[in-house]
Structure 1
């Protein structure tokens, strides 16, 4: 992620936009402090898209009808509880 001072970002705004589209988010700094980020519209849409709630995912998520789940049918092992004390 590149960092640009405000005055450089203003003078080279087209380059900031181009690098945001190709190289990822570009940080804008003022007096050495990060104050803003320029990012591609695709990344913005990805970050701003609504997140699916877990309950909605479970209700409307992938169909598991063809999922085969089998339980291990082996017997449980004997445990001597006196040894644990």
Structure 2
């Protein structure tokens, strides 16, 4: 008979679906502390459980706001980025 005070060892790799289901609270805790957790079905990687914050980051619409913020915070924001015009000779073409 097993001792109820003894917890099973935490998975060091992917979770089997059976274990993930039986220990869902532990799975969620590991997502929050260790990051994404892989779950397998019949030995095949099937899903990855991620935090809500990570999901929002991955599905957010790119607005460019972060780039604008970085450029505005730059100590070199007064640098002129306009390219100088280059004068090129033009040759006659017979059509």
Moved over 4 A (4+): none
Looking at structure 2, the residues matched to 50 and 31 of structure 1 have their Cα atoms a distance apart, in angstroms, of: 35
Is the alpha carbon distance of 1:11 and 1:65 closer, same or farther for their aligned partners in structure 2, counting shifts above 3 Å?
A: closer
Q: Which has the higher contact order (CA 8 A, sep 6+)?
A: 1
Corresponding pairs, count:
64
| Greater per-residue helix proportion | 1
Structure 2 alignment gaps of length 5 or more? 1-11, 82-95
How far apart are 1:51 and its partner, in Å? 2.1
Aligned residue for 1:73? none
What is the TM-score when the length of structure 2 is the normalising length? Answer: 0.56
**Contact 1:2–1:25 (CA<8 Å) still a contact in 2?**
no
Looking at structure 2, the residues matched to 4 and 39 of structure 1 have their Cα atoms a distance apart, in angstroms, of: 13
What is the TM-score when the length of structure 1 is the normalising length? Answer: 0.62
Structure 1 alignment gaps of length 5 or more? 70-85
How far apart are 1:20 and its partner, in Å? 0.6
2:78 equivalent to 1:66: yes
Correspondent of 2:52 among 8, 23, 41: 41
